């Protein structure tokens, strides 16, 4: 029962990372197809997953195409109820869905100013007031989840869930750009940087050569914080 997952570049495609973690972190079998997100061949490479136009997209073992990460997440949770993709407690699950949906649709300032970049870190990045406001909202949501539901482990709801999948690229942004956050958020970011699947994803991305790297900053490079 193997799914096919279409992804973009591992070092830069935050939505692809979310899509891949939905499978890898919950031991759901998959076969990965990489598309030319930065090579200009994405439309051609995604032809088998029509009508999907963006990555990630998945094809179920029965041949059905599902695209958009929220649709993929809910489809996998429905098809694999014993995998534990969402918290078991109904109250925790409702809050997990709420903050996951907010991640899916919000935090535009942070996304725009701080693209996911897993090759190395940057020194001297100065966040705007809008980015700082996004960080404050993240800290509020993360703290609430940890206080109410996270006592059983390092993740937002104790055990790793789809909420952590969706916030994993955000954690890397905080690490890459050394964004200012408090101790609760910093500990949560550190948990992501130590997580084996994210480390595997980043290592595989490091093996890809680029003649011209996207999302360059006019800042000094720094070692990756993990």
What is the average pLDDT across 49-70? 98
pLDDT tens string 102-146: 999 999 999 999 999 999 999 999 999 999 999 999 999 999 999
Q: What is the pLDDT of residue 204?
A: 96
pLDDT(38) > 90 = no
Instruction: Tell me the pLDDT band of 57, cut-offs 50, 70 and 90.
Output: very high
Determine how many CB atoms are found less than 10 A away from the CB of residue 108: 10
What is the average pLDDT across 70-78? 98
pLDDT(18) > 80 = yes
| Contacts of 103 by beta carbon, 8 Å cutoff, 6+ apart | 166, 167, 170
pLDDT tens string 167-209: 999 999 999 999 999 999 999 999 999 999 999 999 999 998 8
Q: What is the value of pTM for the model shown?
A: 0.97
What is the average pLDDT across 29-55? 94
Residue 59 pairs in a beta bridge with: 4, 65
Burial pattern 160-169, b for ≥16 Cβ within 10 A else e, equals: bbbbbbbbbb
Intervals of CATH 1.20.1050.10 along the chain: 90-202
- Of the candidate CATH numbers 3.40.50.150, 3.40.30.10, 3.40.47.10, 3.40.50.720, the domain formed by 3-79 belongs to 3.40.30.10
Q: What is the pLDDT of residue 210?
A: 85
Intervals of CATH 3.40.30.10 along the chain: 3-79
pLDDT(95) > 90 = yes
In the sheet that holds 57-59, the strands lie side by side as: 30-34, 3-7, 57-59, 65-67
Rounded-to-integer distance, Cα 198 and Cα 220, Å: 24
Instruction: Tell me the pLDDT band of 226, cut-offs 50, 70 and 90.
Output: confident
What is the average pLDDT across 212-218? 92
pLDDT tens string 154-169: 999 999 999 999 999 9
CATH for the stretch 90-202: 1.20.1050.10
């Amino acid at each position: 029962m193997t799914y096919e997952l279409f992804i973009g570049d591992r070092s830069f495609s935050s939505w692809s990372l979310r899509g891949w973690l939905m499978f890898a972190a919950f031991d759901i079998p998959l076969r990965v197809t990489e598309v030319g997100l930065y090579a200009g061949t994405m439309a051609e490479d995604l032809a088998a997953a029509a009508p999907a136009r963006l990555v990630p997209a998945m094809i179920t073992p029965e041949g059905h195409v599902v695209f958009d990460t929220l649709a993929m997440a809910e489809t996998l949770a429905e098809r694999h109820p014993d995998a534990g993709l969402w918290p078991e407690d109904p109250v925790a699950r409702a809050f997990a869905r709420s903050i996951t949906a907010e991640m899916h649709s919000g935090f535009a300032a942070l996304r725009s100013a701080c693209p996911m970049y897993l090759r190395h870190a940057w020194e001297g990045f100065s966040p705007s007031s809008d980015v700082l406001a996004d960080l404050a909202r993240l800290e509020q949501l993360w703290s609430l989840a940890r206080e109410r539901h996270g006592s059983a482990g390092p993740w937002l709801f104790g055990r790793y869930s789809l909420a952590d999948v969706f916030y994993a690229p955000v954690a890397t942004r905080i690490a890459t750009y050394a964004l200012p956050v408090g101790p609760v958020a910093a500990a949560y970011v550190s948990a992501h940087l130590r997580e084996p699947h994210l480390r595997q994803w980043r290592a595989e991305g490091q093996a890809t050569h680029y003649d011209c790297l996207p999302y360059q900053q006019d800042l000094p490079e720094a070692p990756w914080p993990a």
